[in-house]
Amino acid sequence: MRALFVMLLLAVSLPVAARRGPDPGPLFAAQPGYERFVQGLADTLSLDRQQLDHLFRQVHIKPQILRAISLPAEARPWDQYRPLFFNEARIQGGVAFWEGHADALARARETYGVPEAVIVAILGVETQYGRNMGGWRVLDALTTLAVAYPPRADYFRRELTEFLLFTREQGVDALTVKGSYAGAMGLGQFMPSSCRKYGVDFDGDGHADLWRNPVDAIGSVAHYLQAFGWQPGGRVVVPVEVAGEATRELANTGWSTRKTVAEWRRLGVNQATPLPEDEQAMLVRLDTTSGPEFWLAFQNYYVITRYNRSFQYALAVYQLASAIAASRFTACGADPC
């Protein structure tokens, strides 16, 4: 497998000869380790080896995906990351999406306890309400990352396995499914394991369609957040000032190091918003080009990070949700929304 990785790195770094059309990337079947890899999948999935071989002989390794995953948007400073997702187009798009699917969003809130604005904001950040669901073949993306991205190869191999199971269960040709460079799919950009575990048939037509059916996507996003512990009516995040370098070093250490508001106050974390002394929170630091920002983040913020592990992502979703809700309220005026 290491020989395969080295060969792929060379494919990324060496210049490619001029050719017509985009470079499809090397065929996976021509790489060292191919036979062992496919046999391992056949054993894991109890599938016919020849069928898998026929499928994977059409898979290409994508150097472009390796480049993309090494330069994620989350690597940018917060003040450069935020405008990618918090902008007028996504706010107004969210208002329009909410108005077009108000009944389904209200039912999702009643069923799962997740506010409409949060569901809408996640769909806005992920795919601009279905406008951009990704153009990569998911089978190419997951295979590339499973065999040529050592930092998370085990994770992507598991997702590749889940994808093959998902397409078999859905009766879908695995070669036709498109998604992000990381293999995320549909309006909500679920990974294959999440499609299988959290995807719901929210309109009752007998099929959970996360690509073409916004109602199913709405229910699935809400179901996902509920499953990870969303607290109806719970707080998300508040800005704070932090005194003391030792306390600042506690930032971004995760939910496992959460403390009560009273404990954070004793450590020099102060906020203008009145908070219950016993409410638990983690300290988050977001770096900007002009210096760090600090936030106390609560259970629902942590839940959003289960959708995407980036602290920046979670705050972008929250701020977009707040702006969409405020804009919709203003647009509705005295009339029912």
* Residue from 190, 183, 234, 228 nearest 209 by CA: 190
Strands 269-270 and 291-297, bridge-based pairing: unpaired
Q: Is the dihedral of CA 124, 129, 132, 133 positive or negative?
A: positive
Joined together, the tokens standing for residue 219 give 């229910």
Q: Could you tell me where the DSSP H helices lie in 150-249? A: 153-170, 192-198, 214-227, 245-248
Q: How many CB atoms lie within 10 A of CB 16?
A: 10
What's phi and psi for 291, nearest 5 deg?
Answer: 130, 175
Question: How many other CB atoms are there within 10 angstroms of residue 230's CB atom?
Answer: 22
Q: Which of 132, 123, 159, 126 is nearest to 143 (CA)?
A: 159
Q: Coil, strand or helix: which one is 22? A: coil
35, 88, 116, 126: which one is catalytic?
A: 126
Using alpha carbons only, what angle is made at residue 74 by residues 316 and 229, rounded to the nearest 5 degrees? Answer: 55
Cα gap 30→33, rounded to integer Å: 9
Token pair recorded at residue 176: 């036709």
Give the neighbor-by-neighbor strand order of the sheet with 291-297. Answer: 259-260, 280-288, 291-297, 237-242, 269-270
* Cβ contacts of 17 within 8 Å, gap of 6 or more: none
> Would you call 126 a catalytic residue per the annotation?
yes
Phi, psi of 229 (to 5 degrees): 105, 25
Contact 122, 317 (CB under 8 A): yes
| Contact between 120 and 105 (Cβ < 8 Å) | yes
Residues classed as catalytic: 126
